[in-house]
Amino acid sequence: MNFNITEEQLALIELAKSFAQKEIQPHIASWEETESFPRHVFNKTGELGFNGMLIPGDYGGSELGRLTTAMVLEELAICGMAISGYLAVHNMTANCVATYGSVELRRRFLPELATGEKLAAFALTEANAGSDAANLESSAEKKGNYYILNGNKIFITSGGEADVYLVMAKTDKSTGVKGISAFLVEEGAPGLEFGKKENKMGFNASPTREVVLSNCAVPASNLLGQEGDGFKYAMHALDGGRINTAITAVGLAQGALNEAAAYARQRVQFGRPIAAFQGIQFMLADMAMAVQQARLMVYYAAFLMDEGKSATTEAAMAKCAATDTSMKVTTDAVQIFGGYGYTRDYPVERLMREAKLGQIVEGTNQIQRLVVARDLLEKQP
Ligand code: COS
């Protein structure tokens, strides 16, 4: 693995950083407070190439690869996850279409997913299929040139706002995981409806909503890849998705560390800035080391994927470690702010609430540990 960051990567990091400072940071608290989804920002990230980071250039994407995508997402997440959170899911879903879709599907969907005209969402989870994703009950029955989809998907990021939903449903209920197929369901499809919008602890600028499929007719050509392979596509997509979640967590943690260090330099107690006290210095040093450890784990998993190697275990490790780190670092940042940290006058409490989601989303950290343990105990000699 090469530790030299290229000129192109440096330029993209700078671009993402200045975009976050100008277009996200000044507004993020108010978007979160008012629970408003800033769709116009998605158009702007599209102009910068951040919506098609994992889409091939032939289809209008910027084709940055996993590692560079991670570098961009980290910068977008430093002030909070309002934008990076759903952008991570959008890029994961678009990449799944690019990887497994027919040429026709790629031509139809990828260019608009890359520009910002269309926002993508990933619909796997159901009420009885969370950690046990293979237990999903949604069905897809072929009738002529259509599949008729029925079922309820919950906790869908960008639910109600997205233009395309990648929906996993059973085409064959008798064959378990091998009966699951993946479909692209477009906004406006008859029978595509939206249920409850979740009232969440954080990440409220981005809606999380139930997606209801009531005899939803989807053209047969919207089947992704082969019938029966949908679970594998979803799991492979989540390998990459977990890298995106992990780097978003690194961004939140770095943001909280920056805030805490700045505050410690200016907050005076006992006649000195609190940064002069070793107790605070050691906390900040531990936070910085933990963030760097997490970042390097994410880079390694991303590097493996860029090399075309399997990164299931490394992505699970990175996701688990980075989101646990993010929870600890953001909590310590609140601690350094003391009473002020517990108020909404400073951003650290929001970062802490957002960090919690990382430990749950895209497979709980218990599931990540299960993936790591399986590899250790069942696969390695
Ligand atoms: N990439 C490609 N294929 C994969 C894969 C991966 N990362 N992980 C599993 N598969 C394949 C397996 O190879 C297997 O196919 P074969 O029988 O042909 O070998 C199939 O998928 C089933 O795998 P497995 O038996 O491991 O499935 P389990 O039901 O035991 O589930 C876990 C495995 C628990 C790891 C999976 O259900 C999971 O990740 N759960 C969390 C779900 C999640 O992340 N939800 C978040 C939704 S998006 S917010």
Is the CB of 374 inside a 6 Å radius of any atom of ligand 1? no
Give the pLDDT score at 331: 99
Give the pLDDT score at 381: 74
Give the pLDDT score at 379: 79
Question: Is-catalytic flag, 362?
Answer: yes
Please say if the pLDDT value at position 2 is more than 90.
no
In this prediction the pTM is 0.97
Distance CA 163, CA 65 (A): 24
Question: Distance from the CA of 231 to the center of ligand 1, in angstroms?
Answer: 7
pLDDT band at 257 (very low <50, low <70, confident <90, very high): very high
Sequence length of the chain is 381
**Ligand 1, residues 235, 359, 362, 377: which to mutate, most atoms within 8 A of Cβ?**
235
Which residues, at least 6 apart from 56, have a Cβ–Cβ distance to it below 8 Å? 63, 98, 110
For residue 59, give both structure tokens: 């289809």
For residue 349, give both structure tokens: 């409490």
| Residue 320: how many other CB atoms lie within 10 Å | 25
CB 200 within 8 A of CB 76: no
Distance CA 310, CA 329 (A): 30
Q: Which atom of ligand 1 is the closest one to the Cα of 241?
A: 48
Distance CA 225, CA 4 (A): 37
Give the pLDDT score at 380: 73
At residue 194, the 3 state secondary structure works out as strand
Question: Distance from the CA of 233 to the center of ligand 1, in angstroms?
Answer: 9
Please say if the pLDDT value at position 58 is more than 80.
yes
Give the pLDDT score at 38: 97
Mean pLDDT across the stretch 317-341? Answer: 98
Distance CA 87, CA 114 (A): 11
The percent of residues in the chain predicted with pLDDT above 70, rounded, is 100
Give the pLDDT score at 36: 97
